[in-house]
Copies of this chain bind each other. A is one copy, B any other.
Amino acid sequence: MTQSTISDISRALIEIAWHFGPKGLNGECCENLTMPEFIALDKISTTSQCAVQDVGYSLGFTKSGATRIVNRLEKKGYVQKIKSHEDARICCVEITKSGERVLSSANTRYMEQFHTIAAKMPEHSVADTVNMLKAMATALKG
């Protein structure tokens, strides 16, 4: 029992998580966007009237962590903070044109990565693989 204490399935999950995770893809998703920044930017782009804490929530960060990541994105010119008219405490975070561009570019990079991998899986069709991953992602949220 000295060798191979962990199972294939754990190893596979880890491999995937590591490759597509914060450290994979050379530690950056696209240009100067880290993985958490990518997730944050996606959240912001798909949420109208996105409060700073909403960003933190989707990343599992504290609210101060949320402030920091939004500030970083703002400094890079990818988002803007605008005070809400309804409630002056809330900052609505909005994606800029530049942010949309970089988000779409990061997406492209992800897709390329995925297709490179998918091409190396002769036993599985790309469509099946995609379906399974989507199902898994859905299951993760539920």
Contact = CB atoms under 8 A, between A and B. Distances in A.
A88 interface: no
A13 B3 contact: no
A16 interface: yes
Name which of A7, A11, A21, A100 has the most chain B CB atoms within 10 A of its CB: A21
A16 B137 contact: yes
Interface in A1-54: 1-24, 35-36, 38-39, 42, 45-46
A124 B134 contact: no
A106 interface: yes
Contacts of A39: 14, 18
A98 to B, nearest CB: 12
A123 interface: yes
A61 B10 CA distance: 21
Contacts of A6: 42, 45, 103-104, 106-107, 110
Interface of A: 1-24, 35-36, 38-39, 42, 45-46, 59-60, 95, 100, 103-104, 106-107, 110-111, 114, 117-118, 120-121, 123-124, 128-142
